[in-house]
Amino acid sequence: MRKVGLVGWALAAPALVVIGVFFALPVAAGLLLSLTDFDLYALADLSTLRFVGLGNYAHLLQTPLFWQALGNTFYFVAVGVPVSIGLSLGTALLLNARVAKWHGFFRTALFAPVVTTVVAVAVIWRYLLHTRYGLINQALDGIGIAPVDWLGDPRWSMPAIILFSAWKNFGYNMIILLAALQAVPREMYESARVDGAGPWRQFVDLTVPMLAPTLVMVGIMTISGYFQLFAEPYVMTQGGPLRSTVSVLYFMYEEGFRWWNLGNASAVAFLLFVVIFAVSWVLLRFDRDPGGAA
Amino acid sequence: MQRRRALRRIGCSALALAGAGCGRRSDPNGSLDFWAMGGEAEVVGQLLPEFRARHPGIDVRIQQVPFTTAHEKLLTAYAGDSLPDLCQLGNTWLPEFAALDAIEPLDARIAASSIPLDDYYAGVLDTNRMPGATAADAPRLLGLPWYVDTRLLYYRSDLLREAGIKQPPRSWAEWRAAMVAIRARGGEGHYGALLPLNEPEPLYAFALQQGALLTEGDTRGAFSQPAFRRALDFYAGLFHDGLAPAMTNTQVSNVWDEFARGMFAFYISGPWNIGVFRRRLPPERQNDWATAPLPGPDGPSVSTSGGSSLVLMRGSPRKEAAWKLIAFLSETATMQRFHALTGNLPPRRSAWLAPSLRNDEPSRAFADQLERVRPSPKVPEWERIFQEMQLTAERVVQRKQSSAAATAELDAWTDAVLEKRRWLRARAARGAV
């Protein structure tokens, strides 16, 4: 028995070493770092490093910009995730519909944004969103809506980022949901129709419950992905205007790599970890709760 | 036991690898590593054949570093002990690398050379002079300016003429009156000046004209004091009175098109725009623009002191060779060729005797302004305070906060950012006693 245990450990050892060196060790170092005021001066002369306990965390909780970044990120998640998953579900349903033609073409076309490079398409979106010459405002003008200053107006910058992210990401979830939809036996729909259920009843009482596990998984993945919003504001707005698109991760990047306050930046990373962990935990509870699934 | 031995073996091989790396790096006769950035990196190689002819024994390797990631790369290289032998360094980054003690002072080498320091514009040279470790130490010169950058006024001479203004404004009052006149003539959609809200330089230049931005040995903010308040009130007033549009430069699709179209008559910018204006303004507009020194509160005054310097890294084993390259690049003739290749303005007055600079109308305003430039506060945190200053100003411009409340908040924020400096100073004082 003991021998089997040893063999097991030996076989797992390479993976464990890799995880230990590249994950556990850096995480532990990061946690230690977040308890110090490691900055440029400490980089020059380690004797100026001060242990500040939870000081970085306390300081962050009193920093308006951190709360603003957290608020912006929650805004992005709260609006972006439903929009993105709604779009994925809608397109998956359309692609799964029997009357639809050219499935293969549309599947590829709708999935295409996922495989593009964020930076490259963000540049194109900046043209699309341009106040005077952008296609989006020209289309709005066609239906009589005054031009919107998408990336320059603090009220519209986050909606513009959400629009861009939803467009960029919905294809990935669409493929997963499409696979789940195709796994629902057609006979179930036939028997539902025999029982007199219309399209809406079929969707609410058959499609949604059958998709529930997939939806929760897609939801958790999308939420934890969206909490890590960084590249979109980095490329499109640099956090502006008026800091309306500074996300937690963008804030961390500025603290750590622009201003070299690595102690503070590590504390931001851990706070973000706590937030994502808490939200995912709540979602998983929701999934396991039989009342929620029924 | 077993595990410990294995760990030790890993450690040894890592050390051996590092040692090998050091061996290559520490060869005093090896080739010089020179990091340059952006457009400068692309052309500096064309200056080197003559250097190679004079010093056949010195091999130079130029590493191109993009400006956007240069700061990060340099700090990482410092942490990893892999800095180059010499480097182009933006003036605003000097205090950081001085704090890291990564740069070799040049005073002794310059004294022994034929480089006349008084040929350099004083304000630009001063940017490279860093205070010593303690107040008793003399300041040290850490870099030699390579090219300079300051901000001044680009203006539409035809619009000024039409508004009945005979010469470019010299004081804030004249400038303001000119903008009022131009706006009145232009009507809807026309402004006096474009001061993009995400560019801190215009406000910063006005503030420099008024006085100090930091106080108590650069350990506290002075933003709520009258000097900065006057600059902020002037700046915000231009927006509040409709003389400047409250826009960022991403909102103005194309500054040059709008300038040509007459959306605004004044624009504060740096020397690189001379070339850009020539390239991007339509031919029929080429006689309608000019440059002028920045107006001051009561007549011509100071502006910002930017640009890049050449620095010698303290850790370099090839300092003599690296210094020869810095000295070569700092020669008047080399600077003139460098200007011809890049359009960058030289920091030495003697280099300005070149006909291409002396007879160039837009450049002459820069020569005038360069006699009056003032360095930024020499603290590593300055860049960050500078950005926060502009965010604060943006709130005042957007009428989200009064200038009194905003500047008091900015001072509190600045004091918090500079806390470590106060602690270091107190510690140094205790150590001295």
3-state SS, one letter per residue, for chain B? CHHHHHHHHHHHHHHHHHHHHHHHHCCCCCCEEEEEEHHHHHHHHHHHHHHHHHCCCCCEEEEEECHHHHHHHHHHHHHCCCCCCEEEEEHHHHHHHHHCCCECCCHHHHHCCCCCHHHECHHHHHHCEECCCCCCCCCEECEEEEEEECCEEEEEHHHHHHCCCCCCCCEHHHHHHHHHHHHHHHCCCCCCEECCCCCCHHHHHHHHHHCCCEECCCCEECCCCHHHHHHHHHHHHHHHCCCCCCCCCCCCCCHHHHHHHCCCCEEEECCHHHHHHHHHCCHHHCCCEEEECCCECCCCCCEECEEEEEEEECCCCCHHHHHHHHHHHCCHHHHHHHHHHHCCECCEHHHHHCHHHHCCHHHHHHHHHHCCEECCCCCCCHHHHHHHHHHHHHHHHCCCCCHHHHHHHHHHHHHHHCHHHHHHHHHHHHHHC
B→A contacts (Cβ < 8 Å), by residue, are 71-72, 75, 78-79, 96, 99-101, 197-198, 247-248, 250-251, 253, 380-381, 384, 391, 394-395, 398, 420, 423-424, 427
CB-based contact B424 A241, cutoff 8 Å: no
The answer to whether residue B102 sits within a structural domain is yes
Residue A34 three-state SS: coil
Nearest to B99 among A44, A242, A258 (CB): A44
Q: Provide, as residue numbers in chain A, all residues whose Cβ is less than 8 Å from the Cβ of B78.
A: 43
Residue A104 has pLDDT above 90, yes or no: no
Q: Please check whether residues B89 and B189 belong to one and the same domain.
A: no
Nearest to A131 among B75, B251, B394 (CB): B251
For residue range B67-87, list pLDDT tens digits in order: 878 888 898 899 888 999 999
Nearest to B420 among A39, A237, A257 (CB): A39
Span of A50-54, A136-140, A239-243, B350-354 with lowest mean pLDDT: A239-243
Residue range A243-250: average pLDDT?
A: 92
Gyration radius from chain B CA atoms: 24
- Give the residue numbers spanning the domain of B36: 31-149+305-359
Residue A188 has pLDDT above 50, yes or no: yes
Select the more confidently predicted residue: B128 or A197: B128
Mean pLDDT score of chain B, rounded to an integer? 89
Nearest to A151 among B250, B394, B424 (CB): B250
Beta bridge pairs of residue A96:
none
- For residues B320 and B390, is the Cβ–Cβ distance under 8 A? no
Regarding pTM above 0.90, the answer is: no
Nearest to A43 among B79, B395, B427 (CB): B79
The answer to whether residue B433 sits within a structural domain is no
Q: Please check whether residues B114 and B75 belong to one and the same domain.
A: yes
Second CATH level (architecture) for the domain A54-293: Orthogonal Bundle (1.10)
Look up the CATH number of the domain holding residue B112: 3.40.190.10
What is d(CA B269, CA B255) in angstroms, rounded to the nearest whole number? 11
For A97-207, where are the alpha helices, taking DSSP H only? 103-115, 118-128, 135-142, 154-182, 186-194, 199-202
Residue A228 has pLDDT above 70, yes or no: yes
Residue range A64-81: average pLDDT?
A: 94
Q: Please check whether residues B90 and B174 belong to one and the same domain.
A: no
pLDDT category of residue B419 using cuts at 50, 70 and 90: very high
Structure ipTM: 0.74
pLDDT category of residue A2 using cuts at 50, 70 and 90: low
CB-based contact B253 A131, cutoff 8 Å: yes
pLDDT category of residue A1 using cuts at 50, 70 and 90: low
Which of A21, A43, A156 would best serve as a mutation to test chain B binding (most B beta carbons within 10 A)?
A43
Q: Please check whether residues B101 and B162 belong to one and the same domain.
A: no
Residue A150 three-state SS: coil
* Domain total of chain B: 2
Residue B13 has pLDDT above 70, yes or no: no
The reported pLDDT for the residue numbered B141 is: 94
Residue range B83-108: average pLDDT?
A: 92
For residue range A20-36, list pLDDT tens digits in order: 999 999 999 999 999 99
Q: Provide, as residue numbers in chain B, all residues whose Cβ is less than 8 Å from the Cβ of A257.
A: 72
Q: Provide, as residue numbers in chain B, all residues whose Cβ is less than 8 Å from the Cβ of A126.
A: 250
The reported pLDDT for the residue numbered B15 is: 42
The reported pLDDT for the residue numbered B253 is: 65
Q: Residue ranges of the domains in chain A? A: 54-293
Q: Please check whether residues B284 and B180 belong to one and the same domain.
A: yes
Q: Provide, as residue numbers in chain B, all residues whose Cβ is less than 8 Å from the Cβ of A243.
A: 391
Q: Provide, as residue numbers in chain A, all residues whose Cβ is less than 8 Å from the Cβ of B253.
A: 130-133
In total, the C-beta contacts within 8 angstroms joining chain A to chain B are 52
Q: Provide, as residue numbers in chain B, all residues whose Cβ is less than 8 Å from the Cβ of A45.
A: 101
Q: Provide, as residue numbers in chain B, all residues whose Cβ is less than 8 Å from the Cβ of A151.
A: 250-251
What is d(CA B341, CA A258) in angstroms, rounded to the nearest whole number? 31
pLDDT category of residue B165 using cuts at 50, 70 and 90: very high
Residue B318 has pLDDT above 60, yes or no: yes
Q: Please check whether residues B296 and B326 belong to one and the same domain.
A: no
What is d(CA B92, CA B375) in angstroms, rounded to the nearest whole number? 9
The answer to whether residue B230 sits within a structural domain is yes
Q: Please check whether residues B207 and B268 belong to one and the same domain.
A: yes
Chain A segment 132-151 residues within 8 A of B by beta carbon are: 132-133, 149, 151
pLDDT category of residue B260 using cuts at 50, 70 and 90: very high
Q: What residue in B sits closest to A132 (Cα-Cα)? A: B253
Chain B nearest-CA distance from A256, in A, is 10
Span of A288-292, B268-272, B360-364 with lowest mean pLDDT: A288-292
Residue B1 has pLDDT above 70, yes or no: no
Percent of chain B with pLDDT over 90: 74
The answer to whether residue B315 sits within a structural domain is yes
Q: Provide, as residue numbers in chain A, all residues whose Cβ is less than 8 Å from the Cβ of B251.
A: 131, 149, 151-152
Q: Please check whether residues B419 and B294 belong to one and the same domain.
A: yes
The reported pLDDT for the residue numbered B364 is: 92
CB-based contact A242 B398, cutoff 8 Å: yes
pLDDT category of residue B244 using cuts at 50, 70 and 90: very high
pLDDT category of residue A149 using cuts at 50, 70 and 90: confident
The reported pLDDT for the residue numbered B430 is: 84
The answer to whether residue B201 sits within a structural domain is yes
Q: Please check whether residues B270 and B410 belong to one and the same domain.
A: yes
Chain A segment 171-230 residues within 8 A of B by beta carbon are: none
Nearest to A40 among B96, B248, B423 (CB): B96
For residue range B205-228, list pLDDT tens digits in order: 999 999 989 999 899 999 999 999
Residue B378 has pLDDT above 80, yes or no: yes
The reported pLDDT for the residue numbered B133 is: 67
CB-based contact A152 B250, cutoff 8 Å: yes
What is d(CA A283, CA B182) in angstroms, rounded to the nearest whole number? 61
Residue A51 three-state SS: strand
Residue A65 φ/ψ, nearest 5 degrees: -65, -35
CB-based contact A242 B394, cutoff 8 Å: yes
The reported pLDDT for the residue numbered B338 is: 94
Chain A nearest-CA distance from B228, in A, is 21
CB-based contact B247 A259, cutoff 8 Å: no
Q: Please check whether residues B338 and B411 belong to one and the same domain.
A: no
The reported pLDDT for the residue numbered A197 is: 87
The answer to whether residue B372 sits within a structural domain is no
Residue range A46-53: average pLDDT?
A: 90
Chain B nearest-CA distance from A104, in A, is 39
Residue range B126-148: average pLDDT?
A: 87
Residue B108 has pLDDT above 80, yes or no: yes
A37 touches chain B (CB under 8 A): yes
